[in-house]
Structure 1
Amino acid sequence: MPGFQTALVNAAAACDAAASRAGLAAERLGDAAFQTPVDPALLAAERQISDAAAASAQQLRADPELLQAGRVVLHEGRSVPLLVPFGARGHLATSVDARVEGVAALVRTAVLHAVAAREPNGLRVVGIDTATLGASFAPLRPLADAGVIEAVATDARAAADAVALAESQVAEHIARRRTDRLLLVVASLGDAPRTLVERIDALARSGLAHGVTVLGCGLPDLPQAAVMHAVGDRVEITNPPAAPFGRGDRLAAPVAWPDAPDPSFVAGEAVRLAERAKAAATLTFGDLIPAAPESGDPARGLEVLIGRDAAGEVRLRFDDATPHWLVGGRTGGGKTVFLLDVLYGLASRYAPSDLALFLLDFKEGVSFTEFIPTERDPSFIPHARAVGVESDREYGLAVLKTLNEEMTRRSNVMKRYGTNSFAGLRGHEAYPRIVCVADEFQVLLAGNDRVASEAVALLENLARKGRSYGVHLVLASQTISGIEALWAKKDSIFGQFPMRIALPGARTVLEPNNDAAARISLGQVVVNTEGGTAGADRVARFPDTDPEVMLRLREQLGRAHAGVGAPRVFYGYRPVHLADALPGERKPGRALLGREVSLHLAAAGFDLDRRPGRNLAILGSDPVGGEALEAAVEALTGNGAQVWGVDLTGHADLRRTTARIAPDAFAAALAEIPDGTVLAAWGLDAAALDTKGQKALRDLLRTGPARGAHLLGWWRNLRRYTDDIGGTAGREDVAGALVLNLPGSEIMGHFGPQFQHWHPRPGRALLVDRHADTAGGRLVVPFSRPEGHAPGPRRSGEDTIERTRQ
């Protein structure tokens, strides 16, 4: 049997003296080994061969270029390992697929051998098993969880994707972008189309030289492969072309399929190799921070290290090729951790003058509190310009408007210098690159209202033009399906997002035929720079955050940029108080009512000047209306204004008023308001004004502003308010309104159809100024009483103007 004797002698030559003796015995044995009767001397030689093979089996199994694919059967039940070229030196094929137990055992043995024989993460495994729905790979599940087995296709479409992944490996290897190997294991193909088989054949022809090895079960015609043919319960093996397997093309000795490994061994080895791969692939959070912070140049783009895969470190970029990123992942899938890895990595590589961050979180969570000062920790990331925590949609819209305005400014500067790129702009002026991250951005686009339509238009403009002006978007979400406002613009917006990043549970970030996100585990991410196309995926493992490293970096950056102020922070859930107003926001004659939901969170107020109609109505039964009126009075009296107050609710705090009117004296006092005096009234709907009282009220509204007399009134009932001011005839006499819990359908009859989309919610109000607003008012967070603050006690008789003036 010349093929076997040459294979054995070649394999054993590097072992020990016993292997040399086995070679001599094999020459004596020759083809006579299977003649009858058997010469006892030949049996002795056979035993020498068996002993030599056993002595060297452990060393041979550790050789990545050889695989024990079964056992060569000798006399009296003796056998020696069948070692075939594998890995970089050859493919292996069988005539039957993994529905035969021996072939299934071969699949598991080959995967464990190939993974163990190479450096950690030096090999990727892609499987196809359509006939048994992945059962051949089931005992190797830990390797799949660790990302070593990147995919196991169980249907025809997924099988085509798996082959595409192997084809991309060849292309990347030719382009010298990958140095690892890929093992394509075809356990079963079922009724696969001929075109898929032809693609696998093409891979086999070119794969060995370009990083791909194929184990093709049920593919006996696989090129450049040693082929194991099933003949009854035995196997014949055919040499691959030009392989140093023997002088003939077929091994003369019969071969048995490999015995099924002990299940506990397979499970334990799979776990061991998976843990080894995880340890080698995972960077620590500290590894993401460069040794020389802020050493990056943003002119040509931003680069950040996010993790590692089998080919080495994975770095992502914001540049002309990948200007915007789309990130998807289920709740608990690691999306927040991944975003923190990216943003802290960027902040450590670029100075605040080179990178500006705008961060929006549209749902409950603490995604971006690690960038802002808190009561617990005053440190912050100086790159952050504006941060929204549980942002309102209107706040997100304000940020998008700001970014679009910034693009316009940069466009004008670029025209002045005659350049059309951000790199050219940086050659003249040091504008920073801007990265805007919107987590759960679908909330911003929810519904079919004005906010959604404006946001879509702004996003489309930023997506199309941002790369030229150094403005980049990161939109993160659990899903982008079902967003009504995107129906007509989805392709025009997301077509500008070639970078797709999918975490576990991502459903719509990748193309519909790409299920890579379903095959990764927590701590892994699919990176795809081809718009989510199947076959262009790179699976990386990213580290968990480290609070100590993050704090150390914040403090380091704070010391280096002590002159950079903290970001403006919008807390969507937090009440606001007048006590937090800055000195410059308090002006004479300005009634402060809350904070605008805008980028700069400016104090929202109403100017009480001498123009006709400069009166203010607070409308709605929400108790915060009375508290906002208290804040307005405090702001006015703090700047020297004279304010008379009347409380018709029994719950107002009148301590900041300069005079107080008894409720039963209110109707008479309306006609006696002096020039230069503001009348603040709580609960005017309860005044029950008669005809004379209503006339006095309407006269004050109509003629008072010209002499410096104004009304700030809180009506809890809209119908009562319109009756008191005289309906439509008195509408222009009250130019200002703070609308609380009254829906747009109820107020549009009085204020106009542009307010039909107003949807009230707790902690928000709509500030309308007929003299300043033309398109629906401004959303504000009304001032409320600080926690624990209650109206002060009153003394007998102190609620009349006469006693207060004494």
Structure 2
Amino acid sequence: MIGKKAGEQRARVITALDQLRRQIGLALGAATNARKSAENQLAKLELEQSIVQAGIEHAAADPQVVERAKEPEMAGVFAWLDTVRKQFYGEWSDGPNRLRELVAASAPGAAGKPPGEWLGRVGTHSGVIAPELWRVGSATVDGGDAGRTPGTEMTFDVAVPLLDESHLSITSAPKTRPSIDALVENLLMRVLSTFEPGAVRVHLWDVGQLTAVLPNFYALSRTSALTVHDPTRLVDLLDELAGHIRRIHAHTMQAGYTSLQAMRRDTGRRVEPWRIAVLYGNGEELQPEQLRELKRVASGALAAGISLVLVDVPTALGGAVESISLLDERRAISSMTGSDLAVHLDRPLPAGQVGTAASRIAEALIAKQGGPRSFADLLPTEFGKQRSAWELRAPVGFYEGEPVEVVIGDASPHALIGGPSGSGKTNFLYALLGSLCARYSPDELALYLLDFKEGVSFAGLAPGRRDESWLPHARLVGVNVNTDREFGLALLRFLADELRRRSAAAKDHEVTHLAELREQDPEGHWPRIVAVIDEFQYLFAGRDTVTALATSLLEDIARRGRSQGIHLVLASQDVAGIEAFWGKPAVFEQCTLRIAMPKARRVLSETNQAAVAAPKWHAVVNHDSGVAHGNQLAHIPDASAKGVFPGLQQRLWERYATSHQRPRLFDGAHAPVLEESRAFGDLEHVARPKALLGQSIEVAESARGVELSGAPGRNVAVLGTTQKEALSIMNSAARSLARQYQPGEALFVLCCLVETCANAVTELSDRLAAEGHKVELVAPGELSARVHTLADDLSAVDSKRIVTLYGVDAALPALEQKSPGQASGLDQLRVLLKQGPTNGLHVLGWWRGVSRLKDTLGFTGTDDIGAWAALDVQGSELSPFCAGQVVHWSPRPGRALFFDRSTHSAPEVIIPFHQPDPGGDE
């Protein structure tokens, strides 16, 4: 039984092994057949290659080839190749002619024609669209290879792409350096002779030579058309090219384009010159860091209008690359024609003619630059044609004859301008403002101009006595405000309010940017706002609330203003001295547009020293936060010479003045005139009159006053010894009140206790009487008695009474005297202060010291003085009359600190109206 089972099992194993042997045999047979087929196919391909390399005619006469072709497996090779050849010749029979036509069309003018037709002539091509190909030589094929008569030579031009299209890699053969130089020289001269001077800039770097790189081009090295770089500093050249790429890429991307070429085609403007960087190597690998940077540059260069020509620099570049490899001094192979076709390189250009041509191009470029350009060259042929929905763009100067533009928009929302005294900063501001205003109408651009230094740089932009014209784009002109830091703060508050208003409108229309808001609300008035603050560091000169508030507002506007079209232009002589921003870079980071005048410090980046070497009448314009690769040197025309800017302003005024209001002029060196104040002119009869004390320091022209209602404490005190300003406040208060009463409605009681003010008070009395008001001029010795009468009749008389007392403290000794059993005059005055307002009587009093006012009030406290204006009084003395809060105030000429308990949370500075000197002189 066991033996039987073992036999069956052995039979099954033997059967399985037989099946496996059969399968292996089949597989081996198939593999053998496949191998034979592959060997036959390989032999067939090798035969085809031999026939193609030798040519069918030549191969047919080769006994070895013929013998191999007789093999059964090789049958049909000649016939198949002949069929392919006939098909190819049918298509290629006109190939050389078509190639000549292609090169002629793609390489017009100097790009493809013989040198005799263009060498020595200065190019005129505008530089918007470059030729697609540039000739380097020619190639010849046998007519038999093109379906023609064998032995007939057919020649066609060979050209390579370059500008915007491709990089070029050139590889030398032994002893071919002269041929390489001739090839490069030919290419560069064709390019330079095609375009108008300045449209192309060439950079040369040769690892093996300090000088004499393409010596025939020496004349061009005097201009920006040619730069020879230090052979030991390849990194500097690569950094420069990388900087150009970053800057141009940012510019084109912001404009909605993927490349400079696309931007040129769409806008019809060159925008940027082409750049060709020729790098001569020695066949050895570059250092790893140099190689990495070179590849980075190559990958983005073409889109930025930069082409690389590498000679014996072994590397695989990113982007499109064509190659030329020399076989000997006259022949090369090119990636444009394939490795089987030799290219006969064009003969070297005559050295003398190249030198002459280079000189002519250099002279034409220098002539085109034309030396200093005038302010008129900045202006467009037609005014007001540009739209500011997306940005503001205007030239401010010239570099080698080409305009250098300033762009203010989302990408460069705010500008920082720096330069020491005499460096041309004010002239630059005039050039900028003039160029902008000529291009954009007042409906597109609104200017707010503030000059903190002791000067009148912007004063002429507002109407004056000698010239009634004004800059229609200006909404505000502030000059001589170096002591009025509050006015700078007021401007920032105004801009913050406008920012909130625009943000709310954008939210209502469900948009985020000014351009979108203008599109959704075409009937709205949404110009771009540019606020220019010259010597803005004065705004942060103190360690006080003004600095703190200004810093906070400026940071907020700088951060959020860009989206709503509100832009800051901050100018300063010494940016390094602004302590308020140490450790707070928010504002400077938003000022991506930097303009550095010669010798300016800390305006550009720390490592960018371009301004140090900038010549006079120039500026370094940088849209990349001061980083060196963003530098653009610009010659700034003289915009501040006599009659230059006023001439433009006159033309703009004639064009726009009838449809736009004149700007508000705030001149810190001149006190406002009461009669010219809009607030005074608008006064009319009201039930609750307001006593105007002075002009407010705000963007909109307005005055500050105290409403004399029946509420307790509605009296006014003027504090200080400054007589002129005290008289101004007292008189403007009385005159403004008189303007709001009907004749005979109120009684003005005037008493002057300061002898030097008597004439001014008498003049006021006469003026009020002439206007029909009841006026009583009380002699100093009669004041006590008159106070008693007023107090006794306080509630009995049903009329308005304004008691105006000049130098109250001088009367205190007399007022303190009293008869037995009677109240003193001082007691009665206190009654008037306490009970008067509820009975239609208000006291306007001038005390020449805070302590004397306290003596007058006695123990009744300060509630009876509801409003006050302080002159030459220190802030620490005013705390009791300001709800106990700390008062930051240092007296300054022509200014007063005003506080009204019913309306103010903190005091504010006002400007008393102009008051003639007591002697009568203005």
Task: Compute the TM-score of the two structures, normalised by the length of structure 1.
Answer: 0.69
- Considering only aligned residues, what root-mean-square deviation do their CA atoms show, in Å? 4.2
Change (3 A) 1:418 1:664: same
Partner of 2:393: 303
In the TM superposition, what whole-angstrom CA distance separates every residue of 1:47-93 from its partner, at most 9, and x where no partner exists? Answer: xxxxxxxxxxxxxx999969xxxxxxxxxxxxxxxxxxxx9596455
Matched, 1:387 2:477: yes
2:834: which partner in 1?
A: 702
Is 1:403 matched with 2:495? yes
* Alpha carbons 2:221, 2:228 under 8 Å: kept: no
Residue by residue, what CA displacement relative to the aligned partner does 1:341-375 show, whole Å, maximum 9, x if unpaired? 11121111122122111111111122212321111
Pairwise CA distance, 1:313: 2.0
Pairing of 1:437-516 with structure 2 (within 5 A): 437-490=532-585, 492-516=586-610
**Is the aligned partner of 1:625 residue 2:726?**
yes
Q: What is the distance in 1 between the residues matched to 2:278 and 2:866?
A: 74
Q: What is the CA deviation profile of residues 124-178 of structure 1, one whole-angstrom value per residue up to 9, with x for unaligned ones?
A: x587799xxxxxxxxxxxxxxxxxxxxxxxxx9xx97676235434775995563
Correspondence 1:67-146 to 2 at 5 A: 91-92=205-206, 113-116=219-222, 121-123=224-226, 125=227
Q: CA deviation at 1:549?
A: 4.8
Q: Which amino acid aligns with 1:603?
A: A
Counting aligned pairs with the same residue, the percent is 34
Question: Would you say how many aligned residue pairs link Structure 1 and Structure 2?
Answer: 628
Distance 1:160 1:335, change over 3 A: farther
Aligned runs of 1:54-69 on 2, under 5 Å? Answer: none
Q: For residues 20-64 of structure 1, give each alpha carbon's deviation from its aligned partner in whole angstroms, at most 9, with x where no partner exists.
A: xxxxxxxxxxxxxxxxxxxxxxxxxxxxxxxxxxxxxxxxx9999
Aligned partner letter, 1:738: A
In 1, the alpha carbon distance for the partners of 2:893 and 2:622 equals 41
Q: Per-residue deviation at 1:771?
A: 0.8
* Higher normalized contact order (CA 8 Å, seq sep 6+, divided by chain length): 1
Q: Within 2, Cα distance between the matches of 1:707 and 1:244?
A: 115
- 5 Å matches for 1:84-483? 91-92=205-206, 113-116=219-222, 121-123=224-226, 125=227, 164-169=239-244, 175=260, 178-179=272-273, 276=366, 279-280=369-370, 282-310=372-400, 312-391=402-481, 392-427=484-519, 428=521, 429-483=524-578
3-state secondary structure, aligned to 2:755: coil
Preserved CA contact (<8 Å) 1:294 1:349: yes
User: Cα offset for 1:664?
Assistant: 2.0
Which secondary structure state, in structure 1, belongs to the residue aligned with residue 587 of structure 2? Answer: helix
Residue 762 (1) aligns with residue 893 (2): yes
Match of 2:920 in 1: 790
Aligned residue for 1:251?
none
Name the structure 1 match of 2:807. Answer: 683
> Cα distance, 1:447 vs. partner?
2.1
Unpaired runs of 5+ residues, structure 2, are: 1-114, 120-184, 191-200, 250-258, 262-270, 281-285, 315-323, 332-358, 766-774, 818-823
Matched, 1:736 2:826: no
Q: What CA deviation, in whole Å up to 9, does each residue of 1:199-254 have, x standing for no partner?
A: 9988999999976999xxxxxx9969xxxxxxxxxxxxxxx99699899xxxxxxx
CA contact (8 A) 1:65 1:89 kept: no
CA contact (8 A) 2:205 2:230 kept: no
- Give runs of aligned pairs for residues 482-631 of structure 1, distance below 5 A: 482-490=577-585, 492-545=586-639, 547-561=642-656, 562-582=658-678, 583-587=680-684, 589-623=689-723, 624-631=725-732
Contact 1:648 1:683 in 2 (8 A): yes
CA distance in 1, matches of 2:560, 2:698: 23
Contact 1:393 1:451 in 2 (8 A): yes
Query: Which of 457-466 and 280-289 deviates more?
Result: 280-289
Is residue 203–residue 212 contact of structure 1 (8 Å, CA) maintained in 2?
A: no
Matched, 1:646 2:751: yes
| Alpha-carbon distance in structure 1 between the residues aligned to 2:809 and 2:369 | 70
Deviation at 1:599, TM superposition (A): 0.9
3-state SS of the aligned residue for 2:448? Answer: strand
Matched-pair contact (CA < 8 Å) for 2:202–2:225: no
User: Residue 404 of structure 2 aligns to a residue in which SS?
Assistant: strand
Higher helix share: 2
* Paired residue type of 1:164: D
Task: Give the superposition deviation at 1:751.
Answer: 2.2
1:34-45 matches, within 5 Å, as none
Question: Larger Rg: 1 or 2?
Answer: 2
Q: 3-state DSSP class of the match of 1:500?
A: strand
**Which residue type is aligned with residue 586 of structure 1?**
L
Whole-Å separation in 2 of the counterparts to 1:719 and 1:223: 88
More divergent stretch after superposition (553-562 vs 434-443): 553-562
Could you tell me how far 1:619 is from its partner in structure 2? 0.6
Q: 1:711 aligns with which of 833, 843, 852?
A: 843
C-alpha distance in 2, partners of 1:65/1:749? 84
TM-score (norm 2): 0.61
Q: Which residue of 2 aligns with 1:671?
A: 788
The secondary structure found in structure 2 opposite 1:570 is strand
The answer to whether the Cα contact below 8 Å between 1:121 and 1:311 also exists between their aligned partners in 2 is: no
State whether residues 386 and 567 of structure 1, in contact with CA within 8 Å, keep that contact through their aligned partners in structure 2: yes
In 2: Cα distance, 1:608 partner to 1:759 partner: 28
The answer to whether the Cα contact below 8 Å between 1:525 and 1:541 also exists between their aligned partners in 2 is yes
2: CA distance, partners of 1:64 / 1:281: 27
CA contact (8 A) 2:751 2:780 kept: yes
Q: Give the direction of change, closer, same or farther, for the CA distance of 1:554–1:780 in structure 2 (3 Å limit).
A: same
Alignment partners' CA distance in 2, 1:627 and 1:633: 10
Structure 1 SS opposite 2:554: helix
Taking structure 1 as reference, are residues 182 and 667 closer, same or farther at Cα in structure 2, changes over 3 Å only? farther
| Alpha-carbon separation, structure 2, partners of 1:474 and 1:544 | 20
More deviation in 750-759 or 404-413?
A: 750-759
Q: Distance in 2 between matches of 1:625 and 1:643?
A: 18
**Is the CA contact 1:327–1:500 (under 8 Å) kept in the aligned structure 2?**
yes
Per-residue displacement from partner, 1:397-422 (whole Å, max 9, x unpaired)? 11111111112112222222221121
